[in-house]
Amino acid sequence: MTCPLLSFVVFLAVVVLQLVAYCKAALIDSSGSFGRLKDDSLWTAHYDPASLQLHMNTVRNISLRLDGFTAEDLQDQPDIQLKSERSHVATVLQGSIPVVEIKDNGIYEGEFNVSGSFLGSANLYVELRRKDNQTVTSKEKLPVTVIREERVIDKVFTISVAVLVSILYINFGAALDIPTLKVIARKPIGPIIGFFAQFLFMPLLSYGLGHVLFPDSYELQLGLFFTGVSPAGGASNIWTVVLGGNLNLSLAMTTISTFAAFGMMPLWIFTLGKTIFSKGNLGVPYRNIASFAIGLVVPLGIGLLIQRYSPRTARILVRILKPMAAILILFIVIFAIVTNLYLFELFSWQIIVAGLGLPWIGYIFGYIASKIARLPTTDALAISVETGIQNTGIAIFLLRFALPQPEADLTTVVPVSAAIMTPFPLMALYLVLKLRERQSSHSMSRSFPGVRYGRMN
């Protein structure tokens, strides 16, 4: 009874918050309509090009033509400037327009340099400020879009992670216990709990959090929702190994989650997701999900073949599994932060809370649901990790497929935040377990001096 009640409460809270936001916006619009001065000026602005797209930290030249100025407009030598609505996105270099350059027929022609400062969209406009500080702005605006240039380091990161993960999954295949997998198949309580936690709880959680944290930004709501409906990430298997959970159960759930995503992602996107993305014209990246599934199964198969035909090599792979998993986690976290440093400028407390809340609440829910089902701790740990860790790579791909630039890059700040925040509680748990293990070995060595204890593999 707890889950339906919780879902209803979340839904009711979302509805109330949306009504409050709607009323607030209506009040602001109504109040803002009073006190506006009617502008009877007839001068107009013409831009060449009519729209501008440039990369970050680059400069482009534009031509500006103003015509229709009257003597009344230019009396008292007003200050005329070409300005940007969002100077942190695009900046006009030396945008002042001298009145003396405006011809007798009321026409001005000039060129200006526009600098792309950061990802986003901005409008350029002409502002005329009179001596009494009254301002008149041009009705015509120049839309400017600043995008990020594709870099070599992004491709290097993607390729290196794919190679390392493939090698690690060969190790996973060598460590798979086939009899244990048969037991899981005969009594699939763990995979069933993991499936409902992954594809029922997490989408509802991401939807509710998105509306609460980003009531006025559907792009960021999409970023969080797409993260929530994505299948489990391969890092869940790595963390399960590091924390001593049930690897066989984790691999089984990851495989089920990956293939189930073919049906569950479209189901959520074209039902609940339509309330966020009103256009609804969204394609699901089947090829991307299929590639991920193949990339998961093929290395596992290689590892199983090694286990069958070269047991000695398999034992070596099992022995180096944990250190390799730890190294890969550090590599992914550090490299991801370095390659996406620009996104930290977009971080707000809402984005941080979203990155923390989605995986961390998922961990707690998965563990509690497993314990309610009376599963052993190793299984509960695997289900908890599998629930909280999402495949943020697929979420980023979805966002870039669904949205134009720069919105696509801007919304990826949410899955990037989730990817960065996801490992922290797992790292803390790992340190606690290692400290307990060390204290236990010290206490046993004191109780039985002269006897050496080691871990059995």
> How do the domains of the chain map onto residue ranges?
44-147, 150-438
Locate 422 and state its tokens: 């996801």
pLDDT of residue 333: 66
Longest dimension (CA), the chain: 103
pLDDT of residue 203: 93
Distance CA 396, CA 414 (A): 9
R_g of the chain, CA atoms, integer Å: 29
Burial class (CB in 10 A: 0-12, 13-18, 19+), 33: exposed
CA 96 to chain CA centroid, nearest Å: 40
- Eight-state DSSP code of residue 232: B
pTM greater than 0.85 (yes/no): no
- Best CA proximity match to 116, nearest among 347, 405, 334, 395: 405
Secondary structure in 3-state letters for 274-320: HHCCCCCCCCCCHHHHHHHHHHHHHHHHHHHHHHHHCHHHHHHHHHC
pLDDT of residue 449: 60
97 SS3 class: strand
- Work out the number of other CB atoms within 10 angstroms of the CB of residue 122: 24
Q: What are phi and psi of 167, to 5 degrees?
A: -60, -40
Do 150-438 and 44-147 have the same topology in CATH? no
- Residues with Cβ within 8 Å of 55's Cβ and at least 6 positions away in sequence, in order, are 116, 146, 147, 148, 149
pLDDT of residue 217: 75
120 SS3 class: strand
Burial class (CB in 10 A: 0-12, 13-18, 19+), 312: exposed
Length in residues, the chain? 457
pLDDT of residue 36: 33
Output the DSSP codes for 177-211: -HHHHHHHHHSTHHHHHHHHIIIIIHHHHHHHHHH
Average pLDDT along the chain, 457 residues, taken 10 residues at a time: 38 43 43 39 88 91 91 84 90 88 87 89 90 86 87 77 78 76 79 91 93 82 88 80 85 79 80 70 58 74 88 85 72 72 79 92 93 91 90 74 72 84 87 83 62 44
- CB-side neighbour CA atoms (13 Å) of 246: 24
- Residues with Cβ within 8 Å of 135's Cβ and at least 6 positions away in sequence, in order, are 127, 128, 129
pLDDT of residue 59: 94
Query: Which residues pair with residue 91 across a beta bridge?
Result: 115
Output the DSSP codes for 126-181: EEEE-TTS-EEE-S--EEEEEEPPP-HHHHHHHHHHHHHHHHHHHHHHHH--HHHH
Query: Vertex 390, ends 336 and 424: CA angle to 5°?
Result: 60
- C-alpha torsion angle, residues 321, 323, 326, 332 (rounded to 10): -80
| Contact criterion met (CB below 8 Å) for 144 and 118 | no
- Best CA proximity match to 167, nearest among 381, 320, 3: 320
Distance between the two ends of the chain, CA-based, in angstroms?
42
380 SS3 class: helix
CATH fold, domain 44-147, is: Immunoglobulin-like (2.60.40)
CATH fold, domain 150-438, is: Na+/H+ antiporter like fold (1.20.1530)
- Eight-state DSSP code of residue 118: S
Query: Which residues pair with residue 114 across a beta bridge?
Result: 60, 92
Instruction: Work out whether strand 142-147 and strand 52-55 pair parallel, antiparallel, or are unpaired.
Output: parallel
Distance CA 24, CA 297 (A): 51
- Work out the number of other CB atoms within 10 angstroms of the CB of residue 56: 18
